[in-house]
Structure 1
């Protein structure tokens, strides 16, 4: 399931971006639909359902963990992509061009946290996120964090496919969810790496 979640999410995002010919209608609908079963989310259904494997699809009308994870990550991408012609998604493990490479969301938030003006507001959003076991509460907190990232650094490429994978594991067992939250905490609070200092000097 690991590679499937990431692969599906990346494929949907690239279809919506469409080499710069953005599907603005679907992106707008997704931004305003907080959950998959919202009427506005229906604009994405044909694209999303065509990508998901049969075992990922709901049988009873209640979104599966895979559907929630993929949809939420795509929605976060749509929020950040608004107003930008440059693709704001990029895989963190890209083996091709560095210009196509993204970073995990919480690594990007960690960079944003270095700014004293935004640190308090970020920490205020992070603390309940890292403490909750409720997926809906986590998604709500993440929505605010993605919006803050967009406002501060619209062009930063984020690995939304990896975030989808995290969101999937967050809905599994308590142990899996705890691992995800610990990983997010480590990425967010980790001290600045020495290898990033030259980049910081350019800012």
Structure 2
């Protein structure tokens, strides 16, 4: 598969995963009690993905497969990169949204292109990891977990090591809006990271977004801010 077709498919994976997430998020934060309860139940099931002795497809197949865009992503199969990326993204979002009343998935809505780029950069996975603790000198816990992601030998290992980072983001003392992640982009990354020739590019971007944190999001110098969560 060529680079352009891989990137195009990654974009479709991101769009599809984000569509599911935004629907769940809308129901969860909406005013319809039945829809809210159904969304909570769906998220609880999604959080079980990846656990041992859990066969998900008859339970979550309606969410993942019912509207699967075969014209864009082909016929879904259990081991396909697209299916794995979508289900992993949904699992991470479900962990992120757990016990949160506000929206944890970013909505990129700005009309101005420059503002949209700023929104995307601020809600990129690496940038949100940086917000756990802006002070690099006391952020060894976060950086160790990121190292574990990079060192993982396979896709399942990457996802497994992303889970504790999501938990740290959820528990951080930042504002709810500062915790939001662009899950459309994260789903694309989780698709691309399965290709040997794209994996390092994904990790580079996460590292860049972590260390080159958007200046407009810094309330103080990262190295002088000592009042962040020390993880």
Equivalent residue number for residue 160 of structure 1: 183
Paired residues of 1:90 and 1:160 also in contact (CA < 8 A): yes
Supply the distance in 1 between the matched residues of 2:16 and 2:94 (Cα, whole angstroms): 16
- For structure 1, the residue ranges without an aligned partner over 5 or more in a row are none
Supply the distance in 2 between the matched residues of 1:117 and 1:145 (Cα, whole angstroms): 18
Normalising by structure 2, we get a TM-score of: 0.73
> How far has the Cα of 1:28 moved from its partner?
0.4
Residue 170 to residue 193, structure 1, CA distance change in 2 (3 Å):
closer
| 1:1-203 equivalence runs, <5 A | 1-19=9-27, 20-21=29-30, 22=36, 23-34=39-50, 38-40=54-56, 42-54=58-70, 55-59=73-77, 62-91=78-107, 93-96=108-111, 103-115=123-135, 119-152=139-172, 153=174, 155=176, 156-172=179-195, 174-190=196-212, 192-198=213-219
Q: Deviations over 1:23-48 (max 9, x none)?
A: 1111001112226x932464321121
> How far has the Cα of 1:18 moved from its partner?
3.1
2:110 alignment partner, SS class: coil
Residue 3 to residue 178, structure 1, CA distance change in 2 (3 Å):
same
Paired residues of 1:5 and 1:70 also in contact (CA < 8 A): yes
Normalising by structure 1, we get a TM-score of: 0.82
Paired residues of 1:56 and 1:67 also in contact (CA < 8 A): no
> How far has the Cα of 1:104 moved from its partner?
1.0
Supply the distance in 1 between the matched residues of 2:186 and 2:57 (Cα, whole angstroms): 19
Q: Deviations over 1:37-76 (max 9, x none)?
A: 93246432112112322244434xx331111111111111
- For structure 2, the residue ranges without an aligned partner over 5 or more in a row are 1-8, 31-35
User: Could you say which structure has the larger radius of gyration?
Assistant: 2
